């Protein structure tokens, strides 16, 4: 775990815009005081949620995607820390652990081909999974922001190891990320997790028919553990309502600890590695998060694939504020359980 960078209290304070007669969330969040004893402090903390960033875009580029997912974490963190602290959203319930400082790997990756990038993604897996395992074993719920959807695999691995058995997952996404196991990348994390026994039942809501290969669709049809709903069937053909799909996903994954995934590339006009002009709205994304957080045995929240700067020069700082809405919605809804 050489790349885990613990967030110091001084760093957290530097991100907060304080105002008289107001208390920002960041003023109340918990921090690790002794980096050497972070695991002990994690266990002893009264916080229910642990914020963790994975700022990398290696997995996206290993999947022939557009890089930039490494840029979301800190702007999103700043947006989260600067919302209002209230009785319904108390920063005391949150521990900001920090992020993975993969800048050395990112620098190495610039000269690598796709196969080499995939080997590097496997190294990221090896560092992320044990940290997730420790957080879950400490009876906390990790909230993970940034990076590519490749990181779903080490999250499910770490969760499964902490729970001593396979776990379930719900994903709101335009893509299944169930591509063949050809080396690790952002398009096959769930397939690896399923084949290696970490993932039991998996539901994907909002798949786009244009961007999911027939061989993947066939797997979802055959395997009763896999459930999918196409965007077109929900919003064009009206076979199901969006709410009914979310409820079906909750039913499908009931009975086991469940990871909640939201790929930002499914929200229309949101800056991401695979941005779409046609997708779900930010309101629907918030409804999905709220319903899941309030209804399942939520084991983690993962918000990947977003960016504030892409490698092609496109920028949009609103992505960070959107993430702040999603994270705070999750905490408020989950806290009422």
pLDDT in tens, 6-15: 999 999 999 9
The CATH number of the domain where 250 resides is what? 3.40.800.10
Q: What span, in angstroms and rounded, lies between the C-alpha atoms of 63 and 149?
A: 10
Q: What is the structure's pLDDT at 335?
A: 87
Q: What span, in angstroms and rounded, lies between the C-alpha atoms of 201 and 138?
A: 24
Range of the domain at 196: 4-335
Q: Which of 100, 77, 99, 95 is nearest to 31 (CA)?
A: 95
Q: What is the structure's pLDDT at 336?
A: 74
- Tens of pLDDT along 196-215? 999 999 999 999 999 999 99
Classify 64 in phi/psi space as left (phi over 0), alpha (psi -120 to 50) or beta. Answer: left
> Would you say the pTM of this structure is higher than 0.95?
yes
Tally of domains in the chain: 1
pLDDT grade for 1, boundaries at 50, 70 and 90:
low
Q: What mean pLDDT is reported for the chain?
A: 97
Q: Are 125 and 157 in contact (CB under 8 A)?
A: yes
């Amino acid at each position: 775990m050489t790349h885990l960078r613990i967030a110091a209290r001084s760093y957290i304070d530097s991100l907060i815009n304080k105002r008289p007669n107001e208390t920002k969330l960041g003023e109340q969040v918990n921090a690790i005081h002794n980096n050497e004893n972070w695991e002990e402090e994690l266990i002893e903390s009264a916080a229910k949620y642990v914020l963790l960033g994975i700022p990398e875009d290696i997995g996206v580029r290993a999947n022939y995607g557009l890089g930039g997912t490494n840029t979301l974490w800190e702007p999103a963190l700043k947006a989260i820390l600067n919302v209002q602290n209230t009785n319904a959203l108390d920063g005391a319930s949150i521990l900001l652990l920090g992020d993975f400082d993969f800048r050395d790997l990112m620098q190495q990756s610039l000269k690598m081909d796709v196969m080499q990038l995939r080997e590097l993604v496997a190294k990221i897996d090896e560092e992320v999974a044990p940290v997730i395992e420790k957080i879950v074993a400490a009876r906390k719920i990790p909230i993970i922001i940034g990076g590519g959807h490749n990181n779903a695999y080490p999250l499910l691995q770490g969760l499964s190891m902490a729970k001593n058995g396979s776990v379930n997952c719900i994903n709101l996404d335009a893509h299944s990320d169930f591509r063949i196991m050809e080396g690790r990348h952002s398009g096959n994390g769930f397939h690896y997790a399923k084949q290696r026994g970490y993932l039991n039942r998996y539901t994907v809501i909002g798949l786009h028919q244009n961007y999911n290969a027939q061989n993947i669709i066939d797997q979802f049809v055959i395997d009763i553990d896999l459930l999918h709903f196409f965007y077109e069937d929900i919003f064009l053909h009206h076979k199901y309502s969006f709410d009914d799909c979310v409820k079906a996903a909750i039913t499908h994954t009931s009975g086991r600890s469940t990871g909640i995934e939201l790929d930002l590339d499914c929200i229309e006009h949101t800056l991401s590695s695979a941005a779409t002009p046609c997708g779900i709205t930010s309101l629907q994304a918030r409804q999905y998060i709220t319903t899941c957080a309030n209804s399942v045995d939520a084991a983690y929240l993962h918000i990947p694939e977003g960016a504030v700067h892409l490698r092609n020069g496109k920028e949009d700082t609103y992505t960070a504020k959107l993430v702040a809405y999603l994270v705070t919605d999750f905490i408020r809804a989950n806290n009422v359980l």
